[in-house]
Each structure stands twice: as C-alpha cells, then as structure tokens.
C-alpha cells in the first residue's frame, strides 16, 4: 500500500447486473428489502451474478490485554482474557456455539495477551507482538515499531485465511478493558469528546462509567495532535490486538475479500482502516448493532447499516456470526428464485 492510495471497490458491473436480476425476480419490486441489497453487495464483492454460496467463512478473534484494565474501567478482572483464549481453543465460548451452529471456522490469535498461555497451541501465539499493551491514559499503547508489527501480523492472518479458501472473513475481539481503547479510536476518527463515545462495556455501573469516561478523555488529551493521523492513533491509544485487527481488515479489503464486522472493537478498527485506506469500507458489512454508542457512531460515519439489532454486547465476533444465515439467505434468493419473465413469458 502506498500513501494516498485508494481501495479498489467491489465490481460495479456485477452490482448493476445483480440489481437487474433482483428487480426481475418473481417477487414484488423491493419486496426483499435489505436482503436484496445484501445480495447485490455480495455479488459485487465476488464479481459473480448470481453470487456463489458462502461455504468457507472464517472468523479470526484477536486477543490481547490492555493496561487500562488495571485502572477500574471494566466490570471484570483482566485475568478473564487469558481464560477466554483457552475457552475459544476448547470451543466452549459464546461465539464457539454460534459458529458451530452456523458452520463458521474459528481461529483465536494471541496478539497481546499478558499471560504466557502455557499449553495453548503454538499457532495461537504465532503472531504475538507483546505481553499486554500500555495503559493509554498514562502512556502509549505501543511503540511505533510494535504498531507496524501488529498491522503486519493482522495482514498475515488475513492472507493465511484467504489462502485457505475464505470467501468471507469475520473479525472478533477478546480483551478485558478493550471497549476503552476502541472508544478512544472512534473519538479520534470523529473528533468527538469522551462523553459521546464511552459506553458500559461489560456492564459497568454509573460510578465506573464516569471514571471510564475520564480515562478515555485523558487518553485523548494525552495523545493530542497525533489523533489526526490514524497510524499514530493506533500507537497512542489502541493496543496490539486492535492494531492487528486493522491490518486484517486492510488486507481483506485490498485482496477483494468481503468482511462481516462485529461490535465496537471490530467497527472501531474498520473506521481506522477506512482512515488509512479510503474506500476500504466498501468491502465491509456489519453483522449487528451493539449497545455501545461508539459502534453506532462509527457505523454511521462508514455508511453501514447493521444486519441485526439483538441488543448483543458480547464481542468475540458473536454478532457477525449470528448474521451469517442472513447473508447466506441473501445469496440463496438471488440464485434460486425464478424470474418473473419465466413465469409470464411476454405474449
Ligand atoms: C466472561 C467474558 C467473556 C467475554 N467475551 C467477550 N467479552 C467482551 O468484554 C470485553 C470488553 O468489555 P470491557 O471493556 O467492559 O472489559 C472484551 O473482552 C469483549 O470481547 C467478554 C467479557 C467477559 C467478562
Ligand atoms: O460491542 C461489542 O462488541 C461489545 C460490547 C461490550 C462488551 N464487549 C463487546
């Protein structure tokens, strides 16, 4: 990628042909609503009309610890992060059940977990950048070199998944405290104060929410002018796992592979990817609307309407996986519904 580059969009000719096919289906005009729009988008991303069924769908969960989690911003202790990585490996997490139900392949990556994670398969740690990331209200999350390393790690993961045959990539997160840096990333991109982007994450009470808000604002104030640059923003106020997620999304968009986003962390990283590579977001759809205010603000800025609105606030990629059947349905209608012209041949 070169400075000033713009991402190549999904195929406009395929989009036009898919829209024409949609309009010709044996359904009333517009009756398929957003299912029709999703089908057209998927056809454009595949440059195929009708689009191919989505058989190979892959979720990457980027895991890491956040120094800020030791400063009272979450309802849960940091030790949960490592425990959940082991739970993904065991296939027993919330997203594991959803993925099994929907035929989605899951991979977890320790990009910045504080624990050594002894006994966890080596491939989980193949792209580890560091143990924990800086407490962003007091210090930078990463060094500039670590930011570059994390972006490259995420890109490498996307290349591996695409090489293995992924037709659709999903992005997920695990890291206690990560709604704090994700809110800061959205504030940086949109020029908003902490008060507008800070949410309750795992469910903090009013007192903790007020403290979390001041931590986010401290991080923004500390980073200052560097927030004008998306890569400097990653160094100052994100984390190794979030920077890796940005790299994963950039690589997918540049490779022409569509991505289904999840909640706040996934969408904050998508917004940052769009800042780095304008046009990247044309390759992204959003599985759901999370309860976090910053996720909705970021989706609005990206012009993406989420597929589901179930009040989910789990993360892990769960809201993306839950939306997979809707995307598969969008493809099925474009593939399998008769054309009105077949039923009613012109006399
Ligand atoms: C058991 C458990 C499993 C989770 N899976 C995802 N998250 C989610 O909650 C965390 C973010 O919220 P906060 O910023 O408030 O800490 C992230 O780890 C996110 O993935 C979890 C949280 C917990 C406690
Ligand atoms: O938006 C999310 O994905 C989210 C919200 C709260 C906690 N964990 C994840």
Domains of the chain with CATH codes: 12-52+332-343 (1.10.1610), 57-326 (3.40.50.10210)
What gap in Å lies between CA 136 and CA 220, rounded to an integer?
A: 9
Does residue 179 line the site of ligand 2, with CB under 6 A?
Answer: yes
Given a cut of 80, whether residue 166 has pLDDT beyond it is: yes
Categorise residue 103: left if φ over 0, alpha if ψ from -120 to 50, beta otherwise: left
Residue 174's DSSP bridge partners are: 63
Best residue among 211, 315, 317, 321 to mutate for probing ligand 1, ranked by most atoms within 8 Å of CB: 315
ipTM over 0.95: yes
Q: Per residue in 285-314, pLDDT tens?
A: 999 999 999 999 999 999 999 999 999 999
Task: Return the closest-CA partner of residue 61 out of 317, 334, 346.
Answer: 317
Q: Check if the beta carbon of residue 302 is closer than 8 Å to that of residue 251.
A: no
Q: Per residue in 245-264, pLDDT tens?
A: 999 999 999 999 999 999 99
Half-sphere exposure of 43 (CA within 13 A, CB side): 28
What gap in Å lies between CA 269 and CA 262, rounded to an integer?
A: 10
Task: Categorize the per-residue pLDDT at 184 as very low, low, confident or very high, splitting at 50, 70 and 90.
Answer: very high
Does residue 313 line the site of ligand 2, with CB under 6 A?
Answer: yes
Crossing angle, helix 318-336 and helix 94-102, to 10 degrees? 10
Which ligand 2 atom is at minimum distance from the Cα of 265? Answer: 3
Given a cut of 80, whether residue 345 has pLDDT beyond it is: no
3-class SS shares of the chain: helix, strand, coil, % to 5 = 55, 10, 35
Does residue 202 line the site of ligand 2, with CB under 6 A?
Answer: yes
Please give the average per-residue pLDDT across 150-154, as a whole number: 98
Residue 107's DSSP bridge partners are: 60
Does residue 263 line the site of ligand 2, with CB under 6 A?
Answer: yes
Instruction: Choose the catalytic residue: 251, 274, 292, 316.
Output: 316
Integer angstrom CA distances of residue 16 from 54, 302, 344: 21, 22, 23
E strands, 126-252, where? 168-174
Neighbours of 115 (CB within 10 A): 17
In this structure, which ligand is nearest to the CA of 178?
1
316 is catalytic: yes
What gap in Å lies between CA 102 and CA 267, rounded to an integer?
A: 22
Segment (H or E) for 106: strand 105-112
E strands, 65-104, where? none
Q: Per residue in 66-83, pLDDT tens?
A: 999 999 999 999 999 999
Q: Check if the beta carbon of residue 261 is closer than 8 Å to that of residue 267.
A: yes
**Cα torsion angle, 44, 49, 53, 56, sign:** negative
Cα–ligand 1 centroid distance for 329 (angstroms):
30
DSSP 127-151: T---SSB--TTTS-SS-HHHHHHHH
Give the per-residue pLDDT at 5: 86
Give the per-residue pLDDT at 258: 99
Does residue 178 line the site of ligand 1, with CB under 6 A?
Answer: yes
């Amino acid at each position: 990628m070169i400075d000033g580059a713009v991402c190549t969009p999904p195929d406009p000719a395929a989009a036009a042909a898919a829209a024409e096919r949609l309009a010709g289906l044996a359904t009333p005009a517009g009756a398929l609503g957003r299912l029709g729009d999703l089908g057209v988008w998927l056809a454009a991303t595949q440059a195929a009309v009708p689009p191919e069924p989505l058989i190979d769908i892959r979720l990457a969960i980027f895991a890491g610890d956040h120094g800020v989690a030791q400063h009272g911003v979450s309802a849960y202790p940091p030790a949960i992060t490592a425990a959940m990585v082991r739970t993904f490996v065991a296939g027993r997490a919330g997203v594991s059940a959803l993925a099994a139900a929907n035929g989605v392949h899951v991979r977890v990556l320790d990009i910045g977990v504080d624990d050594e994670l002894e006994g966890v398969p080596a491939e989980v740690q193949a792209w580890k950048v560091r143990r924990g990331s800086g407490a962003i209200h007091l210090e930078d999350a990463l060094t500039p070199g670590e930011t570059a390393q994390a972006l490259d790690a995420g890109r490498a993961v996307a290349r591996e998944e695409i090489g293995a045959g992924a037709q659709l990539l999903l992005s997920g997160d695990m890291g206690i405290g990560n709604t704090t840096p994700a809110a800061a990333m959205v504030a940086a991109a949109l020029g908003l104060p902490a008060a507008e982007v800070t949410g309750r994450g795992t469910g903090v009470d009013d007192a903790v929410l007020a403290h979390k808000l001041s931590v986010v604002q401290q991080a923004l104030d500390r980073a200052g002018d560097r927030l004008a640059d998306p890569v400097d923003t990653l160094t100052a106020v994100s984390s190794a796992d979030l920077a890796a997620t940005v790299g994963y999304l950039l690589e997918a968009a540049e490779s022409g592979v569509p991505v289904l986003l999840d909640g706040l962390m996934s969408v904050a990283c998508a917004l940052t990817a769009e800042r780095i590579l304008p046009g990247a977001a044309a390759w992204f759809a959003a599985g759901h609307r999370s309860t976090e205010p910053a996720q909705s603000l970021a989706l609005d800025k990206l012009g993406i309407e989420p597929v589901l609105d179930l009040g989910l606030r789990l993360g892990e990629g769960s809201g993306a996986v839950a939306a997979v059947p809707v995307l598969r349905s969008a493809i099925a209608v474009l593939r399998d519904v008769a054309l009105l012209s077949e039923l009613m041949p012109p006399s």
